[in-house]
Amino acid sequence: MAAGPDTVAHRSVRKRFLSADNAAGWTLVSPGAILIVLFGVLPVVMSLKLSFQQSDLLSPKTPWVGTDNYERLFDDPQFVDAIKNTIVYTVLYVPGTMVVGLLVAAALNRSIRFISVYRTAAYVTMAVSTISQGIIFLWLTDRDYGLVNAALGVVGIAPQPFLSSPSQALLVIVAMTIWGWTGFTVIVYLAALQGVPAELHEAAAIDGASAFTRFRTITVPLLGPANLFLLIWLTINALQLFDEVYQTTRGGPLKATTVIVYYLWNRAFVQFDAGYAAAMAYTLFAVIVVITALQFRLARRHVHYS
């Protein structure tokens, strides 16, 4: 009986896959692939299983509890508060970082002396680790010795508690992370700005359009792909905020800076409720996937690709 076309195609693919060149390639990448499976894929699968179990990370007994861990989320007021803090942080951080990055990038998108020095200075915040950023802002906002309170004292304003204030701590973290990620947004926007055709601005200038009008009607619409990329990237980054909170406030006064990932870490490694923390992690993952899909869908009619 003659072999069907599908069988022939499968044999051809298998033959190419097992060829000497491919075998050598798989041999070279196998150490990295094994590490990815062991420390990337396997923990993800195991944590999914853990989310349906009760575990304190110490006892070998991990009884199966089904969806109980997920159902507990809706009755946990601390988790609800963590969601609220995360939403407030995301709403302030994402547009704030994009606006500051765009303004700085627009200022650096010109040919002047020492422009490379200015661009390097704008990017240098990316070389500072998040833990180091936390230490810097702890010193800057210190009530007794911080430079910020020293400057406020000059204009007659009393020292502020900042990171120990329930109403100010989250705002300080927003400012800190905007400062820390502005360098990244500047690079993305600067690359996008340099891709805007100069002849469009020249034609609009001849027609009498002001610099602001040209920026609003020509530059901004052509920044759609960069805006979409940064919107998605920064949103995912915001929803996973942890390092800065851990370094500066540890949840803050009255839990004012307890965001989802910090609360997740606290439940897993302080309260040793690992199954519940795993359920929280997968709930957050599902939320991130849904938000990202919605952002892509809503961007279709507003993003113009060149």
CATH number at residue 147: 1.10.3720.10
Residues 34 and 100 in one domain: no
**Cα 303 to the chain's mean position, in Å?**
21
Give domain status of residue 142, yes or no: yes
Q: Work out how many domains the chain is built from and give that number.
A: 2
Q: Can you give the residue range of the structural domain that contains 21?
A: 5-50
Mean pLDDT, all residues of the chain: 90
Report whether pLDDT(18) > 80: no
Residues 39 and 85 in one domain: no
Give domain status of residue 56, yes or no: no
pLDDT, greater one: 140 or 3: 140
Residues 244 and 281 in one domain: yes
* CA nearest to 174, candidates 94, 78, 262: 94
Distance CA(91)–CA(98), nearest Å, equals: 12
Give domain status of residue 108, yes or no: yes
pLDDT exceeding 90 applies to what percent of the chain? 68
pLDDT at position 24, please?
Answer: 78
pLDDT at position 264, please?
Answer: 96
Give domain status of residue 139, yes or no: yes
Distance CA(262)–CA(245), nearest Å, equals: 7
Give domain status of residue 124, yes or no: yes
Residues 46 and 79 in one domain: no
Residues 112 and 29 in one domain: no
* CA nearest to 81, candidates 166, 138, 164: 166
Give domain status of residue 14, yes or no: yes
Residues 262 and 169 in one domain: yes
Residues 119 and 11 in one domain: no
Distance CA(214)–CA(219), nearest Å, equals: 7
Q: What is the pLDDT of residues 292-304, one digit of tens each?
A: 999 998 887 767 6
pLDDT, greater one: 209 or 25: 209
Q: Taking CA 194 as the corner, what is the angle to CA 191 and CA 196, rounded to the nearest 5 degrees? A: 120
Rounded to an integer, the average pLDDT of 126-150 is 93
Give domain status of residue 39, yes or no: yes
Report whether pLDDT(84) > 90: yes
pLDDT at position 154, please?
Answer: 94
The DSSP code sequence of the chain is -PPPHHHHHHHHHHHHHTSHHHHHHHHHHHHHHHHHIIIIIHHHHHHHHHTTB---SSSS---B-TTHHHHHHTT-HHHHHHHHHHHHHHHHHHHHHHHHHHHHHHHHSS--TTHHHHHHHHHGGGGS-HHHHHHHHHHHT-TTT-HHHHHHHHTTPPP--GGG-TTTHHHHHHHHHHHHHHHHHHHHHHHHHTTS-HHHHHHHHHTT--HHHHIIIIIHHHTHHHHHHHHHHHHHHHHT--HHHHHHTTT-GGGTT--HHHHHHHHHHTS--HHHHHHHHHHHHHHHHHHHHHHHHHHTTT----
Structure confidence at residue 198 as a pLDDT band (50, 70, 90): confident
Q: Which of 168-172, 257-261, 301-305 has the lowest mean pLDDT?
A: 301-305
Give domain status of residue 59, yes or no: no
Residue indicated by tokens 């701590």: 169
Residues 252 and 161 in one domain: yes
pTM comes to 0.88
Residues 99 and 182 in one domain: yes
pLDDT exceeding 70 applies to what percent of the chain? 92
Residues 128 and 224 in one domain: yes
pLDDT, greater one: 229 or 2: 229
Q: What is the pLDDT of residues 260-276, one digit of tens each?
A: 999 999 999 999 999 99
Residues 113 and 158 in one domain: yes
Residues 32 and 175 in one domain: no
